[in-house]
Amino acid sequence: MAKKLYMIKLGGGVVSDIATARKPLVDEISRVINEVKAAKDEGGFDLIIGHGSGSFGHIPAHTYRVNEGLVGPESRKGAAITQQVAQELNRIIISEAINAGLDPFPFSPSSFMIADGGVPSEGSAAHIRHAIDRGFVPIVYGDVVMDRKMGVSIASTEKVFSFLARQIGVDRFVLATDVDGVFDKDPRTNPDAKLVRLIDGSNIDSILEHAETNKMKIDVTGGMKTKVLGMHEMVSLSGTEGIIINGKVPGRIRDALLGKDVPGTIVRP
């Protein structure tokens, strides 16, 4: 019987210090990668790991307006710098995955997809499926990709996962952020913020309205609103469920991957 396939995203706020440019949290990266390895060993599932760019990619992407496309004389330079620093963080994560015995294989999204107006539209996941079948753990990340309308655009990890989910059957999604899930207000600045335990087709519109109104975790890929939209698209495509959790709490990533009851926001079609 084929193994189940899970996807987990390690958010940029989990793997980097978002307040300091290009500062990886190496100890945290090591911890979460080892949690992923322990869960994979116990659960026996196949896995694709994705990670955000945090303080690596978001800063030059914002400075050079990369997500707006080729809009100025320095746009190409900005795209190259953004891709370079995203790969820099990816190499650190790959190194920790090798140390943990996870058998990683890196895939830059710009090498297997092209976008159209900011939406990944063409490409193939065949070589990623091949890597999984040969025992590797593919690791992808938010990346600058070629774009038919804009010249270039940013494919967030959620967009990359959605693209892959259309071509590869996925059984579970885990999004590890630096908060406990989706809140009705930004929990960093509102002590009375309440955790939303479930998002599905019946309440997603109101949740997204709160996300926009309260400006939860805004970044160049759209912040929490885009993460919720991306997760809902992924679970709707796959007919499964996902969960948004706090990856900074030791043990939570492992438990979420193993399907245990953990604090977080469950997302269903």
223 marked ligand binding residue? yes
177 is in an annotated binding site: no
Angle CA(73)–CA(78)–CA(79) in degrees, nearest 5?
110
Cα–Cα separations (whole angstroms), residue 236 to 64, 119, 158, 171, 231 = 34, 17, 13, 11, 8
- 185 labeled part of a ligand binding site: no
User: Is residue 53 part of an annotated ligand binding site?
Assistant: yes
Q: Annotated binding site for substrate, which residues?
A: 53, 58, 157
Q: Annotated binding site for ATP, which residues?
A: 54, 178, 223, 227
Q: Annotated binding site, which residues?
A: 53-54, 58, 157, 178, 223, 227
